[in-house]
Structure 1
């Protein structure tokens, strides 16, 4: 499917090549806007007026003949105060509809592979307990963003970083041990900052049931190691299950312990030394991160010889770079906003490309039930785990509601609305709309009406009503908008596009008759029905939701 703005940009630039100087030629690009139905407006004459010292409208009149003959133009006219309006030709539009009609939905928005690898890291919650509902927003954003980037021709790997090393894992292990040891006739104190969730005794019981006799035969250090490893694996299993139930999967579960035990911290520390960006003070090793835009220098190795999270973060992202990724996109919650500048400084201090790391921060989610804010705690009986949320409202509803606003805005998630079968529920609205389109197609086939496989200029010329044109506009602008959403890293816009298309479909259905005696108009409108079906399916593929053929 063509990005029409890019296509017209190329055609305009080629058509005006002999009319523009070398300095003026770049101005022809990105001069297009789309104000109307099948119209694009070229603002190039307004830009050229500054250097040519002529009235923009006069320049527009000079350029109009060359623009008028580009392949996609049915009409090009110079208008005051200095624009060239381009109306797409019926034949060009028919070609686009035919292409969409002949393309499988799963690849309808897909561009050719470009050979570049991108890694999207998201969720990455510590494996010290089940996923909280707040993790759901990062899961939805990261999952949809990864699929959205695949439409741009990238090879995208989805990665979960398992923080299975360090002080938090030690506290987690000792917290479980506090409950396991008495089952063995032993004692182990609960650490002051230990984990007190109700799931901890459950983990202890599961570990005892699996490894009780083995644990008795081990020394305490070995016993703790087994408890910690088993506890981590049990938690990771619950995390995987919760994410799978939400339709979220990962290509890689990358272990922090693997990173450290395989020498990546040492390797990166030597890289820093070779680049002359570290120094020693107070028996610790420091990075001169202020030389790279940070607000303060950062400790890499503490005086006790233990690496800091800063060093491990540097090692992890250097490892990503060594794995051949041209870009790492990290999707973090709002509590990580202070990490952006230090992380960018780390990348620069390693000598990585300036655009290697992107960080997307998403704001918090407020949960409502029947319009009232709810406190998520086990004491009140309300859900707190992501798995509970998904089981209550459903996979598709969870994914859609976590995408209701841009990542940089706080989000309200109404649990009751998410379960409603009403048009107030955007997930239901998409499903209902798709089922309606399928019903129209079944009815057409059942009555022997023409169900076209291609579009003709005559078909396009028959689509004249505001509802016809609004729906056609939604279809033709899809690739432009999807490309913009990918470029700006805004996966929620795919939900907006799908919802906008659904709204146009239903307005069209309410106002216009598809199956009718005028066979030419019936065929033209069936084209809109069939292409809308495919495009809704394409959006649903990116969103990771399913659309039923009947409801």
Structure 2
């Protein structure tokens, strides 16, 4: 919707410059926005206000100069006015909107798709929860955000790969093994002291029951370290399969699952540590090996190898990101919980220290979700066992509602998920409101077919008869979809599509309620 007008506006400014009426030689970005009030037109720009100081004129005088030079060879404009201190307001001609409607019909299911990202390989890593328990609704927000971004980027021509980084090494996995073994030993009649920091959820007992049913009591007499490692591997595999099933409930899939343990076994972490050491940014202190991250703006140096010889999570994560860049991705987008915000600068520091382009890493932070039912907060906590799982939420409100609600706020803003509202079949429920609009449209098409109107007939319709205010407003909303998709993709803000759908549904419901749609006179 904005592109044709951007061309007209840029041409007018360049004509004014060429004619000596504007002294600037470099135009600022030509921002066009939808005015809050419909009477101010369809689009407006503040370019005159941005140029005024350099021109030594009032913004209004600059606006008048620009407007004088506007040429409209495509006859897309009905009116151009100057408002306030120097805003230029544009109103499109009805014929422009009719052309937009014809383009929407011509494109069909491809409407909104573009090639703006063609030739760009993007890897999106999201969810990446430790396989130590079921996913909860907080994980679900990261899952939905990452998947929505992947779909938007694909729709705008990017080559996209979705990846899940499996943190299957380290203390959390060892605690999973210890917790599962403790429950297993209890089932075998042994008295045990449950790990103080262990996982207490009922799912741990379920895992132990399954292992005992399959393998009997033999592990209770085995070497404890060997038994715990076996329980860790068995429980981790079962939980990772459950995670795959959980995200599939939300119509989410991954192109690859990358194992942290395999990266370590394959020497990828060792090679990365060697590369950092060769660059002189690693030193030893207190029996550990440290990354000189303060040399790259961090507030303190970070450990890479513990005094006991184990790699830290940070060391493995550096290796993983180095591996991603080696695979040829132009951009790598990580979707992380907001509590990982401090990890962002140190990861960029590590990539810079390796001589890599840290600007190719983008991190989308996802804030917490407050789950409520009947107005009462529902607590979540994986270790306590009192959390509500992603699966429970999807089974209660459905996959569509879950995805929609989790995208109703910008990802870095906290979000309240009202389970009661998500189940309501009223206009107060935004999911129902949008879906009801779709149902009404589907009903119209069914009735049109019954009247003998096929798609080809609709395509040949006289769009000039769509001159009612409500009709033009609805076409205007439809025309905004391609730019909404593009901006949501490029700005990494999938919530923009949700906002758009709610506004589009509102415009359609108003039109539907005020107008007769099917009839011989239309």
Question: Is the TM value for this pair above 0.5?
Answer: yes
- Provide structure 1 residue ranges, at least 5 long, that are not aligned to the other structure: 523-551
Report the aligned-residue RMSD: 3.1
* Matches of 2:120 and 2:323, distance apart in 1: 17
Once the two structures are superposed, residues 61-105 of structure 1 have per-residue CA deviations (whole angstroms, 9 ceiling, x without a partner) of 444455323436334646365454443344443332222112233
Alignment-derived partner of residue 71 in structure 1: 74
Alignment-derived partner of residue 259 in structure 2: 255
Out of 252, 270, 274, the residue aligned to residue 270 of structure 1 is 274
Equivalent runs, 1:454-493 vs 2, <5 Å: 454=459, 459-460=463-464, 462-465=466-469, 467-493=470-496
Alignment-derived partner of residue 138 in structure 2: 134
- Report how many residues are paired: 512
Q: Residue 147 in 1 paired to residue 151 in 2?
A: yes
* Matches of 1:60 and 1:77, distance apart in 2: 11
Once the two structures are superposed, residues 498-529 of structure 1 have per-residue CA deviations (whole angstroms, 9 ceiling, x without a partner) of 111111100000111212343xxx2xxxxxxx
Out of 187, 209, 212, the residue aligned to residue 208 of structure 1 is 212
* Matches of 2:100 and 2:286, distance apart in 1: 67
Equivalent runs, 1:15-414 vs 2, <5 Å: 16-17=13-14, 19-20=16-17, 24=24, 26-27=26-27, 29-35=29-35, 36=38, 39-64=42-67, 66-71=69-74, 73-75=76-78, 77=80, 79=82, 81-105=85-109, 107-112=110-115, 114-181=118-185, 190-212=194-216, 222-375=226-379, 384-414=388-418
Alignment-derived partner of residue 10 in structure 2: 13
* Matches of 1:23 and 1:65, distance apart in 2: 16
- Provide structure 2 residue ranges, at least 5 long, that are not aligned to the other structure: none
* Matches of 2:373 and 2:325, distance apart in 1: 44
Sort the Cα spacing of 1:54 and 1:375 in 2 relative to 1 into closer, same or farther, 3 A.
closer
SS at match of 2:253: coil
TM-score (norm 2): 0.88
* Matches of 2:198 and 2:42, distance apart in 1: 63
* Matches of 2:108 and 2:218, distance apart in 1: 55
Sort the Cα spacing of 1:283 and 1:222 in 2 relative to 1 into closer, same or farther, 3 A.
closer
Alignment-derived partner of residue 530 in structure 1: none
| 1:232 CA displacement | 0.8
| 1:433 CA displacement | 0.9
Sort the Cα spacing of 1:471 and 1:119 in 2 relative to 1 into closer, same or farther, 3 A.
same
Which stretch shows the higher mean deviation, 423-432 or 64-73?
A: 64-73
| 1:55 CA displacement | 4.9
* Matches of 1:175 and 1:60, distance apart in 2: 71
| 1:19 CA displacement | 4.3
SS at match of 1:305: coil
TM-score (norm 1): 0.84
Sort the Cα spacing of 1:44 and 1:8 in 2 relative to 1 into closer, same or farther, 3 A.
same
Sort the Cα spacing of 1:23 and 1:350 in 2 relative to 1 into closer, same or farther, 3 A.
farther
SS at match of 2:27: helix
Once the two structures are superposed, residues 336-358 of structure 1 have per-residue CA deviations (whole angstroms, 9 ceiling, x without a partner) of 23323323322332333242222
Sort the Cα spacing of 1:178 and 1:421 in 2 relative to 1 into closer, same or farther, 3 A.
same
SS at match of 1:516: coil
Sort the Cα spacing of 1:381 and 1:408 in 2 relative to 1 into closer, same or farther, 3 A.
closer
* Matches of 1:337 and 1:56, distance apart in 2: 41
* Matches of 1:381 and 1:262, distance apart in 2: 35
Alignment-derived partner of residue 528 in structure 1: none
Sort the Cα spacing of 1:446 and 1:353 in 2 relative to 1 into closer, same or farther, 3 A.
same
Which stretch shows the higher mean deviation, 42-51 or 167-176?
A: 42-51
Sort the Cα spacing of 1:82 and 1:133 in 2 relative to 1 into closer, same or farther, 3 A.
closer
* Matches of 1:381 and 1:167, distance apart in 2: 19
* Matches of 1:361 and 1:196, distance apart in 2: 28
* Matches of 1:86 and 1:388, distance apart in 2: 50
| 1:234 CA displacement | 0.5
